[in-house]
Amino acid sequence: METLLTEPSAPYTVVAPPDALVTSRIHLIRAHKVMLDRDLAELYGVGVKRLKQAVRRNIERFPEDFMFELTKEEAEVSRSQFVTLKQGQNIKYLPFAFTEHGILMLANVLRSEQAISVSIQIIRVFNRMREVLLSHQEILQKLEQLE
């Protein structure tokens, strides 16, 4: 992944990831658009272990519609679809999946400049995806009316 930090005049400046990178990390699981803990950890610049610890310390902020843990079967499917582990490796811990609201809450829990900046970018991508979906639905309705 590209580095998210640059070094201009300030000690460091956070640069939001490209939309395509964020979009490629959004998955449909249990009929929800979600991002997995390892992808968010990478984008936020923290380890997966630290991210999960922060979530567990603040679990009351993550109801089931914000975050859920994948089942072993879902984790196996995600592993095969997204090539998350090398051949022969096993899943040690089940991944967390974060919805749009959970992603925003996660940035509040992590409290870093990079987490906040990246979360804003992710939310914008989710909003654009929603707008595209709505425009497609409107087009389909107009086509149905013409038939």
**pLDDT tens digits along 19-28:** 778 888 899 9
- Whole-number pLDDT of residue 93: 85
Q: Which residues of the chain have pLDDT under 50?
A: 1-12
Quote the longest CA-to-CA distance of the chain.
Answer: 61
CA–chain centroid gap for 77, Å, is 17
- Whole-number pLDDT of residue 120: 85
pTM: 0.70
The encoded tokens of residue 146 equal 């013409």
- Whole-number pLDDT of residue 87: 53
Is residue 49 packed enough to be buried (19+ CB in 10 Å), middle (13-18) or exposed (0-12)? exposed
Give the span between the Cα atoms of 8 and 114, in whole angstroms: 16
Query: Residue 37: how many CB atoms within 10 A of its CB?
Result: 23
